[in-house]
């Protein structure tokens, strides 16, 4: 048995199932990367050898893995359990053009969202009582 994220011990079948899912995702990612590289090469009138395609695919996968780890750490550092757009923009801080494009994309997404009020944190009973006392007007 092996220790996993929640501190629980994973059984052998669970670990094998997780590894199989990871392998499947990795293979699909690599196929998509190769397909994109081939399309771009064709569009530019270039030929790219299979070893180079495999190398590009592996580099893209390793980059995506590292990016996912960084995003998870940024969210954890901010005290959140999920990644948001600010984490993605922060990950691009070394590339000004990419960061600007991501900010623009994020703003476009926000503009398309229906106006929803942000969730309010539950206030404590004491804060509720203070708010009621402040709003109460004396009867004259």
Could you read off the pLDDT of 3-61 as tens digits, one per residue? 445 555 668 888 999 999 989 999 999 999 999 999 999 999 999 999 999 999 999 99
Q: How far is CA 104 from CA 21, 81, 92, 111, in A?
A: 34, 25, 13, 11
SS3 (DSSP) at 121: coil
pLDDT band at 2 (very low <50, low <70, confident <90, very high): very low
Tokens for 8, please give them.
Answer: 């629980």
Q: How confident is the model at residue 124 (pLDDT cuts 50, 70, 90)?
A: low
Q: What percent of the chain has pLDDT over 90?
A: 63
* Six token digits for residue 93: 């801080």
Entry pTM: 0.63
Distance (Å) of CA 47 to CA 32, 41, 50: 18, 6, 10
What confidence score (pLDDT) does residue 85 get?
A: 92
């Amino acid at each position: 048995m092996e220790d996993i994220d929640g501190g629980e011990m994973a059984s052998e079948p669970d670990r094998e199932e997780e590894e199989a899912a990871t392998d499947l995702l990795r293979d699909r990612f690599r196929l998509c990367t190769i397909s994109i590289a081939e399309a771009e090469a064709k569009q530019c009138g270039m030929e790219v050898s299979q070893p180079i395609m495999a190398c590009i695919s592996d580099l893209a996968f390793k980059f995506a893995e590292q990016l996912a780890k960084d995003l998870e750490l940024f969210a954890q550092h901010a005290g959140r359990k999920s990644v948001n757009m600010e984490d993605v923009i922060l990950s691009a801080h070394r590339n000004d053009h990419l960061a600007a494009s991501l900010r623009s994309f994020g703003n476009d997404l926000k503009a398309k969202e229906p106006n929803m009020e942000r969730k309010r944190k539950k206030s404590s009973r004491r804060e509720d009582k203070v708010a009621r006392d402040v709003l109460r007007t004396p009867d004259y």
